[in-house]
């Protein structure tokens, strides 16, 4: 389950921000996860709860914002919506689609107290 290492990375980012901005408690974390990132939101929430125990983010609510997948179809020469990494172009059916978005994960915002 790679969500555990991802959750640990999110906690590290939070702790780094806390040192730089001098806050001691996090109440909400907004996390953007692309639909093509291969991250299971429920597993991420479970892992986040586990890794934040005893930290400044213990008990913080994790809000996950799903961002759509997109790609560039070489056949159509168009940007298209994608629901899977190796999927066909929804317009022409070709499989010559290069993923251009939806693979990222980032901490968008923190609510601190």
Residue 42 parent element (H or E): helix 41-51
For residue 113, the model assigns a pLDDT of 84
- The model's pTM is 0.87
Reading the chain (113 residues) residue by residue, the pLDDT tens digits are 599 999 999 999 999 999 999 999 999 999 999 999 999 999 999 999 999 999 999 999 999 999 999 999 999 999 999 999 998 999 999 999 999 999 999 999 999 98
Ordered structural domains, the chain, with CATH: 3-68+102-112 (3.30.2320.50)
Contacts of residue 67, Cβ cutoff 8 Å, sequence gap at least 6: 32, 33, 34, 35, 101, 102, 104
Each residue of 34-63: pLDDT tens digit?
Answer: 999 999 999 999 999 999 999 999 999 999
């Amino acid at each position: 389950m790679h969500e555990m290492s991802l959750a640990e990375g999110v906690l590290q980012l939070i702790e780094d921000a806390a040192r730089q901005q001098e806050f001691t408690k996090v109440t909400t974390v907004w996390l953007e996860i692309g639909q093509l990132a291969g991250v299971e939101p429920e597993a991420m929430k479970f892992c986040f709860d586990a890794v934040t125990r005893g930290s400044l983010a213990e008990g913080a609510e994790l809000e996950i914002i799903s961002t759509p997948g997109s790609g560039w179809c070489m056949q159509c020469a168009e940007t298209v919506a994608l629901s899977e990494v190796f999927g066909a172009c929804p317009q022409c059916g070709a499989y010559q689609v290069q993923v251009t978005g939806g693979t990222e994960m980032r901490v968008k915002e923190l609510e601190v107290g």
